[in-house]
Structure 1
Amino acid sequence: MVALPRLVVAAPSTGQGKTTVATGLMAALRAAGHLVSGHKVGPDYIDPGYHALATGRPGRNLDPHLVGEDRVVPLLLHGAAGADVAVVEGVMGLHDGRVGTDGFASTAHVAALTASPVVLVLDVARSSRSLGAVAAGMAAYDGRVRVGGVVLNRTGSDRNTAEVVASLERTGLPVLGSLPRDESLATPSRHLGLVTAAERDGSERLVERLGEQVARHLDLDGLLALARTAEDLPSEPWDPAREVTARTGSRPRVAVAGGRAFTFRYAETDELLRAAGCEVVTFDPLTDPTLPAGTQAVYLGGGFPEVHAAELSANHSLLRDLRLAVESGVPTVAECAGLLYLARTLDGSPMAGAVDAEAAMSERLTLRYPVATAPADSLLARAGEQVTGHEFHRTRTSPVAEGDGAWVVDGAATGFATPTTHASYLHVHWAGHPRLAQRFADAAHAATPHVPHAVPEPVAEPVSGDHGPVDPLRHHGDREVGPGLLDLAVNVYAGARPAWLDRALHAAIDDAASYPDARPAAEALAHHVGRPTGDVLPTAGAAEAFTLVARLRAWQRPVVVHPQFTEPQAALEATGHRVTEVLCRAEDGFALRPGSVPADADLVVVGNPTNPTGVLHPRETIAALRRPGRLVVVDEAFMDGVPDEPESLVGEASEDVLVVRSLTKQWSVPGIRAGFVVGGPALVEELVRLQTPWSVSGPAVAAIVACCSGEARAESAARAYRLDAWRAHLEAGLRDRGLEHVASAAPFVLVRLGRGAREALREHGVAVRRGDTFPGLDPSWVRVAVRPPATTDRFLAVLDELLVTT
């Protein structure tokens, strides 16, 4: 038996506000410090994208038609692993399911399968007392479904709301909140439904505002209490490793289309492929010049390529490379949008031409939930096998099929299939049909790695006479930015500050008439890191900490391990110390070699993860630096950007190990200067005596306290995973272009673009951090800050332009 608090958000009909309430509830619960798992009844891909933004976890689908009744609960438990609560958004009306099946695959069906209480969303904008009758009917219609409460949506006048509430009293259903009408929170639509989260500018802020509204107007405690009434589930979580078999040996690279044009695929697809021994790599058909190097299979999922047809068509290099890959036998699966992308043309715009068909928009929407049969053996299926799937498109191909087609649906052939290519409009959830994933993975293992048709060379020639900064040790990323430049130089999280942090900062400014008291910050930090209060010291950022360390003792041989943040060395030299530089080498991947540090060093400063290399040193390696009479200072200013902080020494800091942390990067508050150190109590007391009174400002104290809260911990973890995904996107783009870079664990990547590349990028509107001010690096290196994929793609597009010209 598995305990999982959960609830289903449903409505009497579509358009009542399920997505608004469900997504806002996910965001509000997460902001309150809960780990939330988001799920969607039915095949829809769009709502799970917003769920992912709200929860910081992949959005999941629960669909008995696509995966079978017996897999619904295991998939729910799999998606909700580690979560405090699961929120399931329904589809259409509560009892609306597959036509002609007595409500099969409806929200009610999933609620019954998962034994989940239902929250009924009622749009009150055009009704009043009748809603009481609607709710009563919904609650009584099916004895397997337990409606546990009601949420009123789009409320207006208090008088009408009171009338609705009074009508509901006869039902016995509690009203768990009333969400006022706010058209600014509506999501724009297009011909196939909502605009995806990946395409809408400001999606994260929209979801955050939804969460704020829900937290303000709904009874979160009441909703959680209802979720906790859900009975334990008699099942085990779905495990992709039990569904497929992984071959030993190499891990073939599967290139999966992503970006704004290809936003639709089920999270379990990637998980099955990884479990089958594949490496899943995302590429963006809008911007990437070729498939990822070494591709052994291609998966093109769903999306809206018709909206981006001109941009897709303009990427001639990738279209040609994809066509060559398909023609050479690289196993390729294309569903719906992928089929259009493989066609010769889409609404007249040239596409890859790997499938002999033309695609165009039509007047009629195709929406069906079929059982499809394989007419013959193919890459994915064997003759006579059946799968369940769904179609949702307003385009047509001419011809609609080739030969026997990929599937037979409703007695007609559809799609295109060969021994190495499978392309059709049908979306299939591979968790319900894992043999398809197995066959695709097996084909990838047997395939020859694809060599892209063109690999650009790095920029190598200087384009300006820049001779470098006057004071390299005091050169920081903010010196690189300027008006009109895309900022990839400053290592500050690219996102809005949470509302709770802004509120804390504003309150501190309102209280600026009082001298700051850092004791609340010390107490909050001690609780946050699990140490006694005497082991922590709030500081005015990491910079003050390095100044205190420089003044701490008359160091005889201070060592700074480079390449590394230059502030520690600048602080030591400013206090009269002569610093020994120990260099990590590029040929070693900038790994730390403890034996290279002189035995008589009495102070060693090392970054982890190191700025600018992004290298995350193992704790054991840093521990090997410890010697009697030596203080090891570990700069962990970017450790909170590393998921789960696996190599942090905060818990092991002592009288001979001092850990320095910063809050400015993760929380986008560089102007506040908030940080702290952790060490043994005697060591911290020495630093306290050196610290200038009131050096930690009131806003910094407020920021520290706020960033140690439960909701901050949850948000910080989510940001770390988000940064990890953003960095993977950047590194994939660099790798696909054959550009040398250092594998990073930090919110930045060190790249060797060649001398003059930084200046060339600047002339094209992009600011990156120069590398030659870090000891051990020459002007061929630049540091690139991790940004959201859309921003990264702008940078990569500029790189492509420069690479072509050279």
Structure 2
Amino acid sequence: MTGQGKTTVATGLMAALGGAGHRVSGHKVGPDYIDPGYHALATGRPGRNLDPHLVGEDRVAPLLLHGARGADVAVVEGVMGLHDGRLGTGGFASTAHVAALTRTPVVLVVDVSRMSRSVGALVKGMADFDPAVEVVGVILNKAGSARNVAEITRSVGLPVFGVVSRDERISRPSRHLGLVPASEREESARVVERLGERIADQVDLDALLAVARSAPDLDAGPWDPDREVSAPTAGKRPVVAVAGGRAFTFRYAETEELLTAAGCDVVAFDPLTDTSLPAGTRGLYLGGGFPEVYAGELAANRSLLADLREAVRGGVPTVAECAGLLYLAESLDGAPMAGVVPAGARMTERLTLRYPEAVSPGDTLLTRAGERVTGHEFHRTALTPGRGENPAWEVEGSPEGFASPTLHASYLHVHWAGHPRLASRFAEAVHDAPSPAPAPAAPVRPSPTTRPTVPGTEPVADPLRHHGDVEARDGLLDFAVNVYPGERPDWLDRTLRTSLDGVGVYPDPEPACEAVALRHGRARGEVLATAGAAEAFTLLARLRPWKRPVVVHPQFTEPHAALEQAGHTVTAVLCAESDGFALDPAAVPEDADLVMVGNPTNPTGVLHSAESLRGLCRPGRLVVVDEAFMDALPGEPESLAGERIAGLVVLRSLTKHWSVPGIRAGYAVGDETVVRGLARVQTPWSVSAPAIAATVACVSDEAGTEAERRAKEFDDWRTDLEAGLREAGIGFVPSRAPFVLARVGEGVHARLREQGIAVRRADTFPGLGPDWVRVAVRPPETTRKLLAALARS
């Protein structure tokens, strides 16, 4: 019965039997992918599904025998209630149906935490409901007192094979589509081990084995993939790349077995960590999973996305089911995906759960017009538009998905063991596909002295290193660069000129460190002067062998680039547009040992609360808050620069607010142990004499008065800009920074350039697309020129 603990008991039983020296095969009634993942951990063999709807009644027993080949005992976990099947079909594809087809004795798992003698009535009803189903006993789960257990045992009238008490240590987390897959939980193996130990202590394994031996022989032979498909008699075995890892956990074991039998080499790759497709890829199978949970990380793996995009557009035969469809879409909850399928995906409140029959509306990579298949859908995302000109299926009267001679992508999951012709056609297309071309040479990054091409709408070669200053060249009116547009104060210019008198000796950063310590009320050892925030990012990337560094996006991309350059694999956590790009500390993975976040965030202008940032801190983790634009906010609200918190470092830059981008001046303040470590990896004399002098000047009391005046001026200018955008009907993110993120529409960035106006394209920021631009705030008379140009665009 649903919610009774079937998966807990079944998985524990598999582990317990394995621990007792038996070879065990695990099976699951229904289409579910998650439970078989736990079964695989418990048995050391692939978890298998038994579903008459997906594969037909005649294949259920052969598939059971195939999965149990070489095993001593097969354990089959049911689905929902014993007699619950496809609605309107009299229990078709229910656990009882599969038990009858396979002549398998049934042991009921009953949650008795809130019942007593009523358990007897429940069990008797189950046992008597269908004479074709042999209910042989029960396991009492979540049991309480011995007295209540005795009362229940007397009422049941069938053997009680075990009494399992509640144990929160073996509870399993769930999410919007059910349980969390085993491959996503680092502690899953230990949980399964504990399950096995508990079941071994509280269930009579010998009695259950005796019941298993009583099952009659089946009048069927094992399913054999070699009899379902054929392979070419000669030639090399082409590689079919199959998506796996934490984001792509859903696929049936028989799919890979059919492809192997059809003469293909199946090679798994992980879209979260692999930077390219497997060598020699000539086919792609992208199954199901939870890409919405890992959208930021998938989007951040730009190298693999580019490789995938090139392969699919180049005609590599590709099958994508559900998660694979989302991965091929243009975006997923705002995070850019492969962009092969012309649609965007969003999480919704509505769960789509159906068990349909689908019809092929035309000839495709997998199907021929009019062919029918059975499948299932289970997702909480929606695609806009939901289909292409050539849909993959017609499901319940509606076209769905995208299809072409080389691509088949839809939400529908199909078990290929029930429809082996799909595997045959895919394998034939893979065999016929041209051999892959040699890998192209790695793109050459522009050197610091090379001027990069400033594109209008075409992609930027290296988005993480794209900077707004290249947008504002060629005499364009500059709304792209966030440098204060006014004159520098006389005292700052005098300071910079005077600093040149000292360039004949090596620079000493001590005066800058002391001045910053005084400015923020910190001890001297808590401060490190740096050559701008850029050097600080590099030092942090080199500080430790980070196991899981996280960058919160959308934000300034340089921290991400610095980590990648140091050889780290970065986890990107995306702030959702639906939440106003606000930070959700719970979205940061628990095992993150480095978290970098901007405040206020570039390019959204969102100011995160100090409370939410403190919520990121925990033992064993370094939290880095980039406050590059905090001095542009009157009163510097939500700043953590003056707070002493273990594992927290705050970065500041003087570049923007004081109009000195050519003077790389900045500093880090925070945890003294961390600051000391940064100093150890810093190159000697990296901070120049002018930068040291500028730092001393810009944190003085005199500078504080001017900084506050400029911050209030920014506030007034931004209010004027946002009012103009609002009047023009242009969407934007309410900002607290000296810039505004506006959704002007795709192509407007280039059209503004044609009118002599530069804004910062935002599609190079992870989580944003080509319809966004970042606009630096400017005086009202200058802003009016931008608004007029937008009206013409």
TM-score range, shorter chain: 0.5 to 0.7
1:435-472, Cα deviation, whole Å (9 max, x unpaired): 00000000000112334755679xxxxxxxxxxxxxxx
State how 1:483-632 maps to structure 2 within 5 Å.
Answer: none
RMSD: 1.7
1:382-420, Cα deviation, whole Å (9 max, x unpaired): 000000000000000001111241000000000000010
Equivalent AA in structure 1 for residue 167 of structure 2: D
Aligned counterpart, 2:340: 354
Aligned counterpart, 1:56: 44
8 Å contact from structure 1 (residues 329, 420) kept in 2: yes
Aligned counterpart, 1:208: 193
Aligned counterpart, 2:359: 373
Distance in 2 (alpha carbons) for counterparts of 1:294 and 1:448: 10
Distance in 2 (alpha carbons) for counterparts of 1:297 and 1:284: 15
8 Å contact from structure 2 (residues 390, 404) kept in 1: no
Equivalent AA in structure 2 for residue 121 of structure 1: V
Cα distance change on mapping 1:484 and 1:275 into 2, 3 Å: same
Equivalent AA in structure 2 for residue 326 of structure 1: V
Equivalent residue for 2:8, pick from 20, 27, 30: 20
Equivalent AA in structure 1 for residue 215 of structure 2: A
Distance in 1 (alpha carbons) for counterparts of 2:37 and 2:191: 13
1:518-543, Cα deviation, whole Å (9 max, x unpaired): xxxxxxxxxxxxxxxxxxxxxxxxxx
Equivalent residue for 2:143, pick from 152, 155, 177: 155
8 Å contact from structure 2 (residues 292, 333) kept in 1: yes
Aligned counterpart, 1:192: 177
1:72 aligns with 2:57: no
Aligned counterpart, 2:132: 144
Q: Name the SS for the 1:214 alignment partner.
A: helix
1:339 aligns with 2:325: yes
Equivalent AA in structure 2 for residue 142 of structure 1: D
Equivalent residue for 1:286, pick from 269, 272, 275: 272
Equivalent AA in structure 2 for residue 200 of structure 1: R
8 Å contact from structure 1 (residues 290, 454) kept in 2: no
8 Å contact from structure 1 (residues 293, 451) kept in 2: no
Distance in 2 (alpha carbons) for counterparts of 1:449 and 1:355: 24
8 Å contact from structure 2 (residues 290, 323) kept in 1: yes
Distance in 2 (alpha carbons) for counterparts of 1:242 and 1:105: 25
Aligned counterpart, 1:263: 249
State the TM-score, normalizing by the size of structure 2: 0.56
1:63-117, Cα deviation, whole Å (9 max, x unpaired): 0000000000000000000000000000000000000000000000000000000
Aligned length: 449
Q: Name the SS for the 2:184 alignment partner.
A: coil
Equivalent AA in structure 2 for residue 105 of structure 1: A
Aligned counterpart, 2:502: none
Equivalent AA in structure 2 for residue 14 of structure 1: T
Aligned counterpart, 1:102: 90
Distance in 1 (alpha carbons) for counterparts of 2:107 and 2:338: 46
Distance in 2 (alpha carbons) for counterparts of 1:72 and 1:48: 16
Cα distance change on mapping 1:455 and 1:125 into 2, 3 Å: farther
Aligned counterpart, 1:298: 284
1:421 aligns with 2:421: no
Distance in 1 (alpha carbons) for counterparts of 2:64 and 2:155: 35
Equivalent AA in structure 2 for residue 175 of structure 1: V
Distance in 2 (alpha carbons) for counterparts of 1:337 and 1:32: 38
The higher-RCO structure (CA 8 Å, 6+ apart) is 1
1:177 aligns with 2:162: yes
8 Å contact from structure 1 (residues 154, 181) kept in 2: yes
Aligned counterpart, 1:432: 418
Distance in 2 (alpha carbons) for counterparts of 1:270 and 1:455: 32
Aligned counterpart, 1:124: 112
Distance in 2 (alpha carbons) for counterparts of 1:433 and 1:413: 20
* Percent of residue pairs bearing the same amino acid type: 71
Q: Name the SS for the 1:112 alignment partner.
A: helix
Aligned counterpart, 1:391: 377
Aligned counterpart, 1:229: 214
8 Å contact from structure 2 (residues 28, 77) kept in 1: yes
Q: Name the SS for the 1:381 alignment partner.
A: coil
Aligned counterpart, 1:647: none
1:168-206, Cα deviation, whole Å (9 max, x unpaired): 1xx2x1000100011111110000000000001211110
Distance in 2 (alpha carbons) for counterparts of 1:290 and 1:148: 52
Distance in 2 (alpha carbons) for counterparts of 1:191 and 1:288: 27
1:289-328, Cα deviation, whole Å (9 max, x unpaired): 1111210000000000000000000000111111111111
Equivalent AA in structure 2 for residue 416 of structure 1: F
8 Å contact from structure 1 (residues 301, 334) kept in 2: yes
State how 1:595-674 maps to structure 2 within 5 Å.
Answer: none
Q: Name the SS for the 1:281 alignment partner.
A: strand
Aligned counterpart, 1:447: 433
8 Å contact from structure 2 (residues 328, 340) kept in 1: yes
8 Å contact from structure 1 (residues 359, 395) kept in 2: yes
Distance in 1 (alpha carbons) for counterparts of 2:193 and 2:442: 41
Distance in 1 (alpha carbons) for counterparts of 2:291 and 2:34: 15
Equivalent residue for 2:152, pick from 164, 169, 182: 164
State how 1:671-710 maps to structure 2 within 5 Å.
Answer: none
8 Å contact from structure 1 (residues 37, 85) kept in 2: yes
Distance in 2 (alpha carbons) for counterparts of 1:275 and 1:368: 31
Cα distance change on mapping 1:452 and 1:320 into 2, 3 Å: farther
Distance in 1 (alpha carbons) for counterparts of 2:544 and 2:308: 35
Distance in 2 (alpha carbons) for counterparts of 1:335 and 1:452: 28
1:597-642, Cα deviation, whole Å (9 max, x unpaired): xxxxxxxxxxxxxxxxxxxxxxxxxxxxxxxxxxxxxxxxxxxxxx
Distance in 2 (alpha carbons) for counterparts of 1:347 and 1:289: 22
Aligned counterpart, 2:316: 330
Shift of 1:166: 1.5
8 Å contact from structure 1 (residues 400, 414) kept in 2: yes
8 Å contact from structure 1 (residues 416, 422) kept in 2: yes
Aligned counterpart, 2:686: none
Distance in 1 (alpha carbons) for counterparts of 2:164 and 2:198: 7
Shift of 1:120: 0.3
Q: Name the SS for the 1:444 alignment partner.
A: helix
Equivalent AA in structure 2 for residue 356 of structure 1: P
8 Å contact from structure 1 (residues 128, 160) kept in 2: yes
Distance in 1 (alpha carbons) for counterparts of 2:226 and 2:391: 31
Q: Name the SS for the 1:86 alignment partner.
A: strand
Aligned counterpart, 1:83: 71
8 Å contact from structure 1 (residues 291, 452) kept in 2: no
Q: Name the SS for the 1:280 alignment partner.
A: strand
Distance in 2 (alpha carbons) for counterparts of 1:384 and 1:432: 17
Equivalent AA in structure 1 for residue 130 of structure 2: D
Structure 1 or 2, whichever has the larger Rg, is 2
Q: Name the SS for the 1:312 alignment partner.
A: helix
Shift of 1:232: 0.5
Q: Name the SS for the 1:140 alignment partner.
A: helix
Distance in 2 (alpha carbons) for counterparts of 1:455 and 1:24: 51
1:482-521, Cα deviation, whole Å (9 max, x unpaired): x98799xxxxxxxxxxxxxxxxxxxxxxxxxxxxxxxxxx
1:241 aligns with 2:226: yes
Distance in 2 (alpha carbons) for counterparts of 1:336 and 1:164: 44
Distance in 1 (alpha carbons) for counterparts of 2:216 and 2:295: 48
Aligned counterpart, 1:37: 25
Aligned counterpart, 2:791: none
Cα distance change on mapping 1:451 and 1:213 into 2, 3 Å: farther
1:197-255, Cα deviation, whole Å (9 max, x unpaired): 00012111100000000000000000100111100011100000000010121101000
Distance in 2 (alpha carbons) for counterparts of 1:215 and 1:450: 52
State how 1:464-479 maps to structure 2 within 5 Å.
Answer: none
